[in-house]
Structure 1
Amino acid sequence: MTPNSAQSEAIPETFLLAVGTKKGLWLGTSTDRRNYEFTGPHFLMQEVPSIGIDTRNGGTRILVGTRSEHWGPTVVHSDDLGATWTEPEQGAIMFPPDTDAALERIWQIQPDAADRPGVVWAGCEPISVWESTDGGEHFELNRGLWNHPHRPEWGAGYGGAAAHTVLPSPADPNTIHVAMSTGGVYRSTDAGESWVARNKGISAPFMPEPLPEFGQCVHKIARDPNNADTMYAQNHHGVYRSDNNADTWVSIAEGLPTDFGFTVLTHPRRSGTAWVVPIMSDDERIPPNAQLAVHRTDDGGASWQRLADGLVQPEYNVVLRDAAAVDTAEPAGLFLGTRGGSVYASADEGEHFVEVLKQLPDVLCVRAAAVVL
């Protein structure tokens, strides 16, 4: 063993935890995913509903969607873990004049696959999808979705009209899925030129027709790490899996205390493993019996295990759709934040949690990753 190799092995892995809230951003680093050193708040008094952590180019770029009541929304980025921030002079996302629209909120920032460096996606309000090819500095409106004939009928969920999930397929650069509230799941197989609703089997109990072509309030979708055709969805009442690239969906809610919730996560490496955070109902937006818990399946939704060790109880605040994340470490880390300002970290896939932040403003977005310093 050479001295250089011994030195490199001694360097501990560094984990980044990014927490976006109603009133700013907190950034934490850790070597054990239990004890963190945090900086912040960055962007005090600005809403931070979206965060992306991009480690594809050998460094770490943090992309943050901010929203100021005075200056409006934009995307800023940092390449030095938040020591400095850069914002394009004319704004990263701006609707073209012919659309007669203005950006309200950036709900999602999603780096593309590892073999597509520089490509970053954004989902926004009003419902729209944007693509960047320069690492998230400038974005272009996806006209295929914006000009979709269904768009006039897409509505606003309780939190607003949101294109909240953009999932580019790692197996096929031409395939992209988008989920929106309200509207449901849409899929493109031609790199975003055209989009087709893919909601067969997902219910919309609040509509006259409970199984419409579109109009579902899908809260979040996630993709299996090994089979790009397998996906999971947390709906406004309903938890589903698709094994055919979202052509059809089947319920996997049996065994859960309730089928309502906002988030769904999949394992970074292991097929069949997913997490949800049940909420009582759309009328009672608290954890069941005021007991916050994560539920994990390791068999594609055939069964569920309740995980709550370390979560402070009782809890009357919920976990929002992007206020939970999984990292790519071994074992995978699981992270979540509540609207009551508590942030929890698990270094063992949810078996045990530790509260790493508390008394923050409403937590809107949580992202975690192993990073290069």
Structure 2
Amino acid sequence: MGPTVFHSDDLGQTWQEPENGAIRFAEEDGAALERIWQLYPDAEDRPGVVWAGCEPISVWKSTDGGEHFELNRSLWNHPDKEQWGAGYGGAAAHSVLPSPADPDTVHVAMSTGGVYRSTDGGQSWTARNHGISAYFMPDPNPEVGQCVHKIARDPGKPDTLFAQNHHGVYRSDDNADNWVSIADGLPTDFGFVMLTHPRTSGTAWVVPIKADGERIPPEGHLAVHRTNDGGASWTRLSTGLPDREFNAVLRDAAAVDTAEPAGVYFGTRGGSVYASADEGNVFVEVASHLPDVLCVRAAALDGAHDAAG
């Protein structure tokens, strides 16, 4: 019982569970799997490779399409581990981004811990949070212990990454060695979502919300914000969204597909799902009265937009 991985080979019509559980700690690890935050396939030229980010903070890798996963022990036994803590959502490695340009480079984002990078296929990991400010903490510039909410890679420029932090929106152009703030022009620098365009470099989407005690859209006005220039400027997108909304959008409750133009999707903690077929210019509500929407994923099938939550 508990969290596990199912896989489908027929677009979700049927599902299979590995006989012995795909992700399982060994008894000597002294830990139990609490939550699987992300399953992320590697590049197209690495078929069968799937990465998983989990709670407690751990990264796992499968080379057989998700039938079996192996714990990355270098990260699990990392000397920084004592400095990692739990945010309000738990202590988790919630984002795993293998580089499409270099099979040995992988980025992991954890809350709380920050961004870590491996350049040797996961044999070693180094914190990469230079330039990120935690101005609400006693130490405003910690290299270890940052609370990053989501990271996303620019597919057109694999060394460029975008990050939505507990407070702060950032971009790195050097594979996470350095980060610069791109929050100017946003109503708040707090949020959970970070999406990047599947083809157009410099295009990204965020969903700002008020911080901490009031995790609702600013002034109760739900809006997506898009940049087309790497964060130098932002455009507010709210056509089709409700005038008043008091529910947050969580880190994995948003997605972008690969259609032309790209579709953008997100769900709220109020149980609504919104979709845009034109990169966020106009949204329509496609589902309502659901429980908290925790995850939304999208795909373009034969050129058409399709999403699942």
TM-score, normalized by length of structure 1?
A: 0.80
Deviations 1:220-266 (A, max 9, x none): 00111111111100000100000111001010000000000001110
SS of equivalent to 1:186: strand
Which residue pairs with 2:17 in the alignment?
87
Which residue of structure 1 aligns with residue 183 of structure 2? 253
What residue ranges of structure 1 are gaps of 5+ in the alignment? 1-70
Number of positions where the alignment pairs a residue of Structure 1 with one of Structure 2:
303
Q: How does 1:197-216 map to 2 (within 5 A)?
A: 197-216=127-146
Matched, 1:342 2:266: no
Task: Report deviation, 1:206.
Answer: 4.0
Mapping of 1:284-299 within 5 angstroms?
284-299=214-229
Q: Report the more deviating stretch, 309-318 or 181-190.
A: 309-318
Matched residue, 2:91: 161
Output aligned runs, 1:96-245, within 5 Å: 96-245=26-175
**Structure 1 residue 208: deviation in Å?**
1.9
CA distance, structure 2, for counterparts of residue 285 and residue 186 of structure 1? 27
Q: Would you say the 8 A contact 1:204–1:215 is kept in 2?
A: no
Q: Which runs of 4+ in 1 moved over 6 A?
A: none
**Greater radius of gyration (CA):** 1
Alpha-carbon deviations, 1:259-291, whole Å to 9, x = none?
000011100000110000000122211001111
Greater share of strand residues, 1 or 2?
A: 1
Q: Distance in 2 between the 1:205 and 1:361 partners?
A: 34
> Displacement of 1:98 after TM fit?
1.9
Name the residue aligned to 2:294. 364
Contact 2:83 2:144 in 1 (8 A): no
C-alpha separation in 2, matches of 1:138 and 1:236: 33
Q: What is the alpha-carbon distance in structure 2 between the residues aligned to residue 203 and residue 100 of structure 1?
A: 34
C-alpha distance in 2, partners of 1:173/1:371? 27
Residues 38-53 of structure 1 correspond to what in structure 2 (within 5 A)?
Answer: none
Please give the secondary structure, in 2, of the residue aligned with 1:121: strand
TM-score, scaled to structure 2 = 0.96
Q: Distance in 1 between matches of 2:95 and 2:33?
A: 17
Q: Deviations over 1:54-90 (max 9, x none)?
A: xxxxxxxxxxxxxxxxx21001111122222100121
Distance (Å, rounded) in 2 between the aligned partners of 1:270 and 1:180: 27
What residue number does 1:269 align with? 199
- CA distance in 2 between counterparts of 1:239 and 1:274 reads 11
CA displacement 1:144-165 (0-9 Å, x = unmatched): 1011001122111111111000
Gaps of 5+ in 2: 303-309
Distance in structure 2 (CA, Å) of the matches to 1:284 and 1:195:
35
Q: Take 2:13 and 2:157, find their aligned partners in 1: how far apart are those partners?
A: 38
**RCO (CA 8 Å, sep 6+): is it higher in 1 or 2?**
1
Distance 2:207 2:142 in 1: 26
Give the counterpart letter for 1:183 in structure 2: G
Q: CA deviation at 1:371?
A: 3.4
- Kept in 2, the 8 Å contact 1:319–1:339? The answer is yes
Backbone CA RMSD of aligned residues: 1.1
